[in-house]
Amino acid sequence: MKRAVYPGSFDPPTNGHLDIIRRSSRLFDGLIVAVLENEGKAPLFSVAERVELLRTVTADIPGVEIQSFSGLLVNFLSRTDSSVVIRGIRAISDYEYELQMALMNRELAPEAETIFMLPAVEYTFVSSRLVKEVCRLGGDVSNLVPPSVLERLRARLQTGS
């Protein structure tokens, strides 16, 4: 069984993330969407909330499971018997960072491979950070996130909880 891991903060999950999840899930027997536990980033949603949001929006995608992890990604790959890392790339700046991470992962775990995927054209500019910022300022992000995420995003940003 060939399993892949798509790691990230997913704070919040966007339609760009879902595009990568849908497309990469068709390439492997199983896909783990791995939510990084990195409180240093000051996330809007807790890890448990992000896991719940992802489970909701991926419920109709066969072979996808949602987990959280902390520490080194290569250790998570080993624990889940996965050998491939999926990373979405939107711009050259993403590539430079992701290349460094892929090479470090290869140094730590030579058997691990990284596959870079481009999102659909309509999502090439979408980032979780930008979605939060635009939504916080009252902009319409309804075409950038799934409806269930939009509802939670608006509730969180309006109440500040």
The closest of 86, 90, 100 to 26, measured between CA atoms, is 86
Higher pLDDT, 94 or 109: 109
DSSP codes, 72-89:
-HHHHHHHTT--EEEEE-
What is this structure's pTM?
0.93
Which of these is catalytic: 9, 17, 24, 25? Answer: 17
Which of these is catalytic: 24, 25, 82, 128? Answer: 128
Per-residue pLDDT for 159 more than 70? no
Please report, for the chain, the start and end positions of each structural domain, with discontinuous segments joined by +: 3-159
Task: Average the pLDDT over 18-26 and give the result.
Answer: 97
pLDDT tens for 28-78 read 999 999 999 976 778 999 999 999 999 999 999 999 999 999 999 999 999
Instruction: Decide: 127 and 89 in contact? Cβ < 8 Å.
Output: no
Which of these is catalytic: 41, 55, 79, 129? Answer: 41
Assess whether 156 carries a catalytic annotation: no
Assess whether 41 carries a catalytic annotation: yes
Please state which architecture CATH assigns to domain 3-159.
Answer: 3-Layer(aba) Sandwich (3.40)
Assess whether 78 carries a catalytic annotation: no
Which of these is catalytic: 3, 22, 23, 90? Answer: 90
Assess whether 17 carries a catalytic annotation: yes
Task: Average the pLDDT over 6-18 and give the result.
Answer: 96
How would residue 9 be classed by pLDDT, with cut points 50, 70 and 90? very high
Which token pair is 137?
Answer: 């300022």
Place of tokens 């775990």: 109
Phi, psi (degrees; rounded to nearest 5) at 69: -155, 160
